Structure formats: structure tokens, C-alpha cells
Structure 1
Amino acid sequence: MAIQAGGRRGGRRGGFNEINITPLTDVFLVLVIILLITAPLIQNSGLKVELPSSSSGDKGETKSLIVGVGADGKFAVNGTVVSPNALLSAIQREAKATSQKVLVVQADGNAKQKDVVKVMDSARQAGLQKLVVATQQKN
């Protein structure tokens, strides 16, 4: 009785009949889950905005129309900087394209009140039903 090297029968070299992709599939599923969890957490107004603080820390709802108001009086609608004169048309266009009825205002803590009121008035004229002012939670 002889012992065969490598445990193969008849001295033939065996090859792979199929590739096991189960580990690769597991890795991709984990990456998809991580992406799905972190994607709603990333909301960018398009401007560098330092949110005012509050005890509730409401940062707005996910999948909302976001308007950023900078301390220098600049406006951004869903990450695109727009002029003050084009603010209403930009909000109307984005609200219609995304069929949103919620507007999240991410105003800098040093933004002028007239700029925030302009966003609120434009939202009302655009037919949006709900307005949320984003803040950061106090530490």
C-alpha cells in the first residue's frame, strides 16, 4: 500500500472546477451596509456653516431640501451656491425635481436675520409645507 503525495487519486493533477465567491460576496454586503448607514448622515449645505447650538440638537431630516446661509450672506441650495436673486427659483426647481415638501435651513450662527427670513419667505412662496432650522447639540 503506497501513500500518494498530496492526497490525490491516481496521480492526476486536479484543477478548480469553480471559484468560491462567498467571501467576496460577504465583503461587498458589509460595504453596502456601511454605505447605507453612513449616507444619510452626510448632509452638506455647500457653504462652511457653523450651526448655532441648542439643547435638542436638531440637524434636520434625511432626504430633505437643504438651504445653507453663510455668515457672509451667501446662499446654497442642496450644495449649489446661488445668488440672492436666484434663491426662489432655485428652491422651486429643487423642490419640484425632488418632490420635497420639507426645507432644512442650515444657517451660520453669525448669519444675518434678513438672510434667514429671505430663505423662509422663498420657501413659503415655493409651496414648501415644513421648515426646519438645523442646529447642533450643546456639549
Structure 2
Amino acid sequence: MRRFRHFTSSDSTSEINISPLIDVVFILLIFFIVTTVFVDEAGVEVNKPRAASSEDLEKNAILIAVTANGRVYQGGRNIGVGGVRSVIAALLEGDEEMPVIIQGDADANHGTIVKVIDAAKIAGAKSVSLATVK
């Protein structure tokens, strides 16, 4: 009787298919990019006044900064008091409920801040708030 010997080849290696893992990583990356909320800064540092009754806002907002020397900034651009209305109207086209936050310097002229608030209201802003420090 003949005996057969079976030799197993040591050359055969088992591989792990990582393409499904790469697909999952890309899907997670896309999910995190889509759900990320980017904060739009006013572009200028202002010294905000303190207020005991301040509240935190949870949603995106349009930030307008008024400096101590009366300049008005949005997104790092000096828009002036005259440009507030057009800028806010353009930014509110996509979301009518987006609040407008005025970051007025503690040493800013009160009249300039009132003009900015009026321009924001005329532009269609439903909520205009002043930024303060707690």
C-alpha cells in the first residue's frame, strides 16, 4: 500500500483585507467634516464690558465688533457703520433666525453701538445682542 504524504506549503499567507476599514475611516471623516461648526470671529480684539446678567448663546451668530476708536469690523474687514446693514442682510439670506452679536469695546462710543444695533435691526435681524464678559 502506498502512503501519500501531504505537505502544506509555508508560502501561503493569510492577509487581512483593509479596504472596508479604509472605507469606514473615510465615511467617519466626511461625517465629522460635515457636522463641524465653524466659528466666525469678528476679526478684531475688543475689551468687552462686564455684565452680571449675561447668557451664553448655543448657536452660530453674526459677530460685529466696534472698537474703542469707533471702527466697525465683521470677519476682519473694516465695514464701517454704513456697511453693517448690507453685510448683515447678505449673511441673513440663508438663516433668518441667526442672531447678531455686537462686540462693543468698553471704551467705544455709545452712539456708534446704537447705530450698529439699528442697522442690524433694519437689515432684518430678529435677535441683536451685546457681547459681555461674565
Q: TM-score, normalised by structure 1?
A: 0.67
Q: Give the corresponding residue for 1:32.
A: 32
In structure 1, the gaps of 5 or more residues are 1-8
| 1:112 CA drift (Å) | 1.0
Give the number of the structure whose residues are more often strand, by fraction.
1
Could you list the per-position Cα deviations for residues 22-52 of structure 1 after superposition, in whole angstroms to 9, with x for gaps in the alignment?
A: 7x83xx56x939x84xx46x45112111211
Q: Give the corresponding residue for 2:83.
A: 86
Q: Compared with structure 1, are the counterparts of its residues 135 and 107 closer, same or farther at alpha carbon in structure 2 (3 Å cutoff)?
A: same
Mapped partners of 1:43, 1:97: distance in 2: 15
DSSP-derived class of the 1:67 partner: strand
Task: Give the residue type in structure 2 aligned to 1:116.
Answer: I
Question: Is 1:109 the counterpart of 2:106 in the alignment?
Answer: yes
Greater CA radius of gyration, 1 or 2? 2
Matched-pair contact (CA < 8 Å) for 1:101–1:127 = no
Give the number of the structure whose residues are more often helix, by fraction.
1
Mapped partners of 1:32, 1:93: distance in 2: 27
Q: Give the corresponding residue for 1:18.
A: 17
In structure 2, the gaps of 5 or more residues are 1-7
The alignment of Structure 1 onto Structure 2 pairs a total of residues equal to 122
Q: TM-score, normalised by structure 2?
A: 0.69
DSSP-derived class of the 1:10 partner: coil
DSSP-derived class of the 2:108 partner: coil
Matched-pair contact (CA < 8 Å) for 2:81–2:116 = no
Q: Give the corresponding residue for 2:125.
A: 128
Matched-pair contact (CA < 8 Å) for 1:49–1:106 = yes
Matched-pair contact (CA < 8 Å) for 2:68–2:109 = yes
Matched-pair contact (CA < 8 Å) for 1:64–1:100 = no
Identity %: 21
DSSP-derived class of the 1:117 partner: helix
Task: Give the residue type in structure 2 aligned to 1:32.
Answer: F
Q: Give the corresponding residue for 2:72.
A: 75
CA RMSD of aligned residues (A): 3.1
Q: Give the corresponding residue for 1:50.
A: 47
Mapped partners of 1:81, 1:97: distance in 2: 23
